[in-house]
């Protein structure tokens, strides 16, 4: 009886617990929750370590971190069928995966916006300022925590939501995030064009200049650096 109970607890504390096959519905809910909670974690961490209450959101509307949300999805997809591996194996794979993921995210933001939202050049063991060893190790620890504890708990929580109601909430949240993403990309893109001296020729450009001037964007993204100004990777 004791052994069977222990085996049942171990089964429940796996990445697959609570949802069975990994569907788009489950993936989106994990993305949504991780993005909101991740943003909150960064705000609290910044407040505790630097004494500043600052925005850490990826989007202009809503408190949401795309990096945390997408990172949680990546960990889930990679470890979905690998949760029986040892903690050491998960930690090592998470360390490498997290470093590659963060590096790619840095490249994408540079290409799309001509800006950087984090810069690790002041930290030891960094690679082009995009990643560093400490945060790679953090990704490894986060992978173990996600696989063993957080993801199963979230799946059980989401599993308690009536499916039809859960779908409606997911669709509404997805629509809002898509809207916010489009507005954010347009505002940041327009900021880069302003710095290149391009005038506001159309109604959309004039709206973006009025609604999201540089001061508003820098207040929303206090760690953002413009590559042409800071000489990143020169």
Segment 63-108, tens digit of pLDDT: 999 989 999 999 899 888 777 789 999 999 999 999 999 999 888 8
Least Cα distance to 98 among 61, 128, 70 occurs for 70
Using the CB atoms, write b or e for 67-86: b if 16+ within 10 Å. bbbbbbbbbbebbbeebeee
Closest CA relative to residue 219, chosen from 5, 17, 21, 52: 52
Measure the CA–CA gap between 84 and 14, rounded to whole angstroms.
8
Tell me if 74 sits within 8 A of 35, measured CB to CB. no
Contacts of 189 by beta carbon, 8 Å cutoff, 6+ apart: 112, 113
Q: Which tens digit of pLDDT belongs to each residue from 37-70?
A: 989 988 998 888 888 888 888 899 999 999 899 9
Say what the pLDDT of residue 193 is: 87
Closest CA to 32 of 149, 145, 169: 169
123-171 pLDDT tens trace: 888 888 889 999 899 999 999 999 999 998 998 999 999 999 999 999 9
pLDDT digits (tens, 9 = 90+) for 186-204: 998 898 889 888 998 899 9
d(C-alpha 232, C-alpha 234), whole Å: 6
148 or 21: which carries more pLDDT confidence? 148
Q: pLDDT at residue 227 above 70?
A: no
Which pair of tokens denotes residue 98? Answer: 């997290």
Give the model's confidence band at 35: pLDDT under 50 very low, under 70 low, under 90 confident, else very high. very high
Residue 16 is predicted with a pLDDT of: 56
Average pLDDT score over the chain: 84
């Amino acid at each position: 009886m004791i052994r069977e109970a222990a085996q049942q607890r171990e089964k429940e504390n796996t990445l697959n617990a609570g949802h069975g096959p990994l569907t788009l519905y489950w993936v989106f809910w994990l993305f949504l929750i991780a993005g909101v909670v991740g943003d909150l974690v960064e705000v609290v961490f910044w407040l505790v370590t630097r004494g500043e209450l600052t925005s850490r959101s990826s989007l202009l509307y809503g408190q949401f971190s795309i990096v945390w949300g997408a990172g949680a999805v990546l960990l889930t997809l990679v470890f979905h069928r690998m949760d029986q591996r040892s903690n050491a194996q998960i930690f090592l794979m998470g360390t490498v995966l997290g470093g590659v993921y963060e590096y790619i995210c840095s490249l994408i933001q540079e290409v799309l916006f001509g800006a950087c939202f984090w810069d690790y050049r002041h930290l030891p063991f960094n690679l082009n300022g995009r990643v560093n060893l400490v945060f790679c190790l953090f990704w490894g620890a986060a992978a173990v925590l996600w696989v063993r504890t957080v993801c199963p708990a979230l799946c059980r929580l989401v599993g308690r939501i009536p499916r039809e109601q859960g779908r409606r909430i997911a669709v509404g949240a997805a629509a809002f995030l898509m809207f916010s993403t489009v507005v954010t990309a347009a505002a940041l893109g327009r900021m880069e064009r302003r710095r290149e001296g391009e005038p506001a020729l159309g109604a959309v450009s004039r709206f973006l200049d009025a609604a999201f001037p540089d001061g508003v964007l820098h207040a929303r993204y206090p760690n953002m650096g413009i590559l042409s100004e800071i000489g990143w990777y020169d």
